[in-house]
Structures are given as structure tokens and as C-alpha cells.
């Protein structure tokens, strides 16, 4: 139940009240209505994390890229190491 999933903001409607800021999010093409009242900074096109109908956080693309870059570099370094035993396969 605590699993939240990333989706892309497709549209945002003007705020009607402080507990309701409706928008639409696409999860791999499937559209769902989402409440953005906890994430007023979200914009159309952003990737956001959604849990039980509310947007909880913006996905930080820079952080995601940095993690992936770091891990890829770690993999490249491993390949340069001739002593490396190939474990875990």
C-alpha cells in the first residue's frame, strides 16, 4: 500500500480550494485524476510520485541521472580491473 508510482503531469486545473487542486497524470499512457494540493510547485511535463490519489513529490531528474551515471561509471571501472572475479551471475 505504501508503494507510490511515478507519472507525468498532463494537465493542472486552477485551484478551487486549499484541499483540492485537480490535475491529470499519465502512468505509461493511462490517465488518472490526481490531487496536487501537497505539491503546488508541480508543472505540466514534470514527473511526480503519486500515492493513493495525491501527488507527494517531484522526481528530481538531476539526482536520478547522477545516480545512474555514478553506477555506470562504477561498472566501467570494474571492467578495467583484471583481478575482478565475476560473481553474482
Minimum CB distance to other proteins smaller for 11 or for 78: 78
Q: What is the DSSP string of 23-58?
A: EEEEETTEEEEEE-TT-TT--TT-EEEEETTEEEEE
Q: Minimum distance between the CB of residue 1 and other proteins, rounded to whole angstroms?
A: 5
Other C-beta atoms closer than 10 Å to the C-beta of 30 total 8
Q: Which residues bind other proteins (CB under 8 A)?
A: 1-6, 8, 17-20, 27-28, 35, 37-40, 47, 49, 51-54, 56-57, 59-61, 63-64, 66-68, 71-72, 74-75, 78, 84-89
Amino acid at each position: 500500500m505504501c508503494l507510490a508510482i511515478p507519472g507525468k503531469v498532463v494537465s493542472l486545473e486552477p485551484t478551487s480550494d486549499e484541499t483540492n487542486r485537480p490535475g491529470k497524470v499519465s502512468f505509461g499512457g493511462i490517465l488518472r485524476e490526481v490531487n496536487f494540493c501537497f505539491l503546488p510547485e508541480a508543472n505540466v511535463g514534470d514527473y511526480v510520485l503519486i500515492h493513493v490519489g495525491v501527488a507527494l513529490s517531484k522526481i528530481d531528474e538531476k539526482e536520478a541521472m547522477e545516480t545512474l551515471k555514478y553506477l555506470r561509471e562504477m561498472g566501467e571501472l570494474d571492467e578495467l580491473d583484471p583481478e575482478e572475479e565475476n560473481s553474482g551471475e
